[in-house]
Amino acid sequence: MELSVLNTEGKETGRKIILNDRIFDVEPNDHAIYLDVKHHMANKRQGTHKTLERGEVSGSTRKIKRQKGTGTARAGSIKNPLFRGGGTIFGPRPRNYSFKLNKKIKQLARKSALTYKARENSILVVEDFNMEAPKTKEFVNIKNNLKIADKKSLFVLPAENNNIYLSSRNLQDVSVVSASYINTYQILNAKTVVLLESCVTKIEEMFNI
């Protein structure tokens, strides 16, 4: 797949770049995508949820009324889960939601996601740029020039760039990631994927191509 390289003003530079078919034109595997997105979301969960169970609620363990003759159900403790303020039955406990996913499945999922974006013509290639200082207004101007102001976009950089990251941090519809940390969820969550020119080589290296 061949794409024109744009500059930050949204105009063609006259250069072309070829996206490797072994990454951007594979047979998509939806189940691999599902597993990789599930893996990503599970790893983000803190798993710190906890409720007080019967043995953890503060209160007396004295039997609150006699066993028989009251006309109501027997009750042995004020911490009974049936009472207001009592313990929770089978409440959530802290746990780790992460699970193992094979590297080849992750790679297939990312290739599949990039293939979908390529087929939707949702990939732009922009020449490498830098910012002397964090300027959100300057970053917004770049989005406007690329005609993606109203679209959720993912900017993929060849390496970490603190100024670009800080410039985009306050924009809700923009994500910035380096090529080595790109993941399936971010690709699919964006309407447009913006690749900086030199990061295409980085992506090929990441997939050992």
pLDDT of residue 153: 95
Note the pLDDT tens digit of each residue in 182-193: 999 999 999 999
Ramachandran sector of residue 64 (left: φ over 0; alpha: ψ -120 to 50; beta: rest): alpha
Segment 90-103 shows an average pLDDT of 95
Note the pLDDT tens digit of each residue in 42-59: 999 999 999 999 999 999
The contacts found for 13-22 with CB under 8 angstroms, 24 or more apart, are: 13/127, 15/127, 15/197, 17/125, 17/197, 17/200, 19/118, 19/123, 19/200, 20/204, 20/209, 22/111, 22/207, 22/209
**Which pLDDT band holds residue 208 (cuts at 50, 70, 90)?**
confident
pTM of the complete model: 0.83
- Of the candidates 178, 197, 196, 175, which has an alpha carbon nearest to the alpha carbon of residue 186? 175
Q: Average per-residue pLDDT in the chain?
A: 93
Note the pLDDT tens digit of each residue in 2-42: 889 999 898 988 899 999 999 999 999 999 999 999 999 99
H/E run at residue 168:
helix 162-168
Q: DSSP label at 90?
A: T
Other beta carbons within 10 Å of 72: 7
Residue 207 has pLDDT above 90, yes or no: no
**Sign of torsion over alpha carbons 69, 70, 72, 77:** negative
**Which pLDDT band holds residue 120 (cuts at 50, 70, 90)?**
very high
Note the pLDDT tens digit of each residue in 61-70: 899 999 999 9
Q: What is the CATH number of domain 2-46+100-206?
A: 3.40.1370.10
Other beta carbons within 10 Å of 43: 12
Which segments of the chain belong to CATH 3.40.1370.10? 2-46+100-206
What is the four-CA torsion angle of 159, 184, 152, 200, rounded to 10 degrees? Answer: 40
pLDDT of residue 61: 87
